[in-house]
Chains A and B, each alone.
Chain A
Amino acid sequence: MITETLTWLTDPINVTGPTGWLQLIGQHLMYTIITLAIAAAIALPIGLYVGHTGRLRSAAVLATGLTRALPTLGLLTLFALLAGIGLVAPVIALVVLAVPSILAGAYSGLESVPRSTIDGARAQGMTEMQILTQVEVPLGIELIIGGLRSAFMQVLATAMLAAYVGNGGLGKLIFLGMKTEDYPVMLAGSLLVIVLAILCDVILALVQRAARPKGIARTA
């Protein structure tokens, strides 16, 4: 089984061909990044607002909790029926999934900054914008990036299901294999996704660590 999978994976046609897995990985990453950019554009400003002012906090917590209880496959199929086959449906569904993590990361990042530090900065005469950009964001950056990281991972995972509602990406291999009862191809697709996911997670973990400001005690 494994040898069949490896043979399939290393066949040049399956690697660099027009529907080869390199192409599919590129497509998959592109979907993920586009979705994440849209989600971040929505969630970061709201999260920073909630974290800085403390306003609407319970609404944000509730929204985050509720969205997390929603099954991803359900959202994906729902939007696919609503918007039809195409890129729009999965992107909307994926954005809905990505927003809560980014939002939670942003406001909890700002909330993790000690009140006395912010108080001190304000008493020195920093404007609210300066407090946000020079104090709260740098000090909360690890959790903010943490939110982006878990959103990225979730979108990467769910983008695979997007192939189920008729789009490309690495999920294509899995569903192709499923339709043709070709376990080695399913396995090939799965292994590629797993390797991609772990690689992305490790890279993002390193980015997260590198962003930690100097002078902050290393806890973890």
Chain B
Amino acid sequence: MSWISANASTIMERFVDHLVLSLPPILLAFLLALPLARLAVRFRPLRTPITLGSALLYAIPSLPLFIIMPLITGIELRSATNVIIALTLYGLALMVPVAADAFTAVDRDVLQSATAQGFAPMHRFLAVELPLAGPALVAGLRVVAVSTVSLATVGAVLGVPSLGSLFTQGFERNIMPSIVAGIVITALLAVLLDQLIVLIGRVLMPWTRGAGVRA
């Protein structure tokens, strides 16, 4: 405890670093996954390459991905941007198949009746398709958030500061409280984001409230 209070400001800095590394990939992955998934559902031939690509990308361990990214992007290996791009790719690899399944599962009859009522395609997507796919999308986003928060710590091995720095420095200098604090704060951040997404989902989709009570 004394170590934590003595290093509170450093921990706070690492926490902010961690948010900078993990929040953009979560948002970017979600926003980019929607059009990609919609495309995969709309144009059948694209479906296999997109889902297969996601699966292969997800199979790649994080550290090697961080290391080969500069080769493709030309961005400095030890920069936050490099980690953010790699984490966004992971997020996409998780989110795109989930979103594709979510859009596929939307009842075709509902969509056709919406079209019959005169919804224009873009309007129909925003007003009907997106809300109906919503619960599954939220479930996917939760997984992306938890996994991104955890993966962002790996950047510390390369020297990109984050809550993971508490692990590397704790290990190198043999400070157990540093590691424990890092684990607890990272896990709490993951749980917090997860619950925040659940909450936002409930606010945006009032019809799903209470749906899980019996199940």
- Is there a contact between chains A and B in the complex with CB atoms less than 8 Å apart? yes
Number of A-B contacts (CB under 8 A): 119
Cβ–Cβ contact B71 & A81, under 8 A: no
A216 close to B (CB within 8 Å): no
The residues of B that contact A73 with a CB separation of less than 8 Å are: 153-154, 156-157, 164, 167-168
Closest to A149 in B: B59
Closest to A166 in B: B171
Within 8 A of A (CB), among B138-154: 146-147, 149-150, 153-154
A30 close to B (CB within 8 Å): no
Cβ–Cβ contact B187 & A71, under 8 A: yes
Cβ–Cβ contact A71 & B61, under 8 A: no
B64 close to A (CB within 8 Å): yes
1/0 contact string of A73-87 vs chain B (CB within 8 Å):
111111011000000
B55 close to A (CB within 8 Å): yes
Within 8 A of A (CB), among B68-85: 68, 71, 77
The residues of A that contact B67 with a CB separation of less than 8 Å are: 174, 186-187, 189-190
Given A81-B174, A161-B154, A191-B68: A71 touches B167 (CB 8 Å cut-off): yes
The residues of A that contact B126 with a CB separation of less than 8 Å are: none
Return the contact of A197 from the options B59, B149, B171, B174 (Cβ within 8 A).
Answer: B59
B63 close to A (CB within 8 Å): yes
The residues of B that contact A76 with a CB separation of less than 8 Å are: 167
Cβ–Cβ contact A174 & B56, under 8 A: no
The residues of B that contact A183 with a CB separation of less than 8 Å are: 77
The smallest C-beta distance from B87 to any residue of chain A, in angstroms, reads 13
A193 close to B (CB within 8 Å): yes
**Which of A74, A186, A200 has the largest number of chain B CB atoms within 10 A?**
A74
Closest to A1 in B: B71
CA of A21 to CA of B192, assembled, Å? 41
CA of A75 to CA of B182, assembled, Å? 10
Q: Is the interface of B mostly helix, strand, loop or mixed?
A: helix
CA of A191 to CA of B59, assembled, Å? 13
Cβ–Cβ contact A75 & B183, under 8 A: yes
Return the contact of B157 from the options A70, A81, A161, A200 (Cβ within 8 A).
Answer: A161
Cβ–Cβ contact B60 & A197, under 8 A: yes
Cβ–Cβ contact B64 & A74, under 8 A: no
1/0 contact string of A152-188 vs chain B (CB within 8 Å):
0100111011001100000100100010000100110
The residues of A that contact B156 with a CB separation of less than 8 Å are: 73
Cβ–Cβ contact A71 & B150, under 8 A: yes
The residues of B that contact A78 with a CB separation of less than 8 Å are: 167, 176, 179-180, 183
* Interfacial residues, chain A to chain B (CB-CB below 8 A): 1-2, 66, 68-78, 80-81, 153, 156-158, 160-161, 164-165, 171, 174, 178, 183, 186-187, 189-191, 193-194, 197-198, 200-201, 205
Instruction: Knowing that A68-B150, A178-B158, A189-B64 touch, tell me 5 more A-B residue pairs with CB under 8 angstroms.
Output: A72-B154, A81-B174, A160-B63, A178-B157, A198-B60
A-B contact pairs, 26 of them (CB 8 A): A1-B71, A68-B150, A69-B150, A69-B187, A69-B190, A70-B183, A70-B187, A71-B150, A71-B183, A73-B153, A73-B167, A74-B166, A76-B167, A78-B176, A81-B170, A160-B63, A164-B157, A164-B171, A165-B171, A178-B157, A183-B77, A190-B65, A191-B68, A197-B59, A198-B56, A201-B55
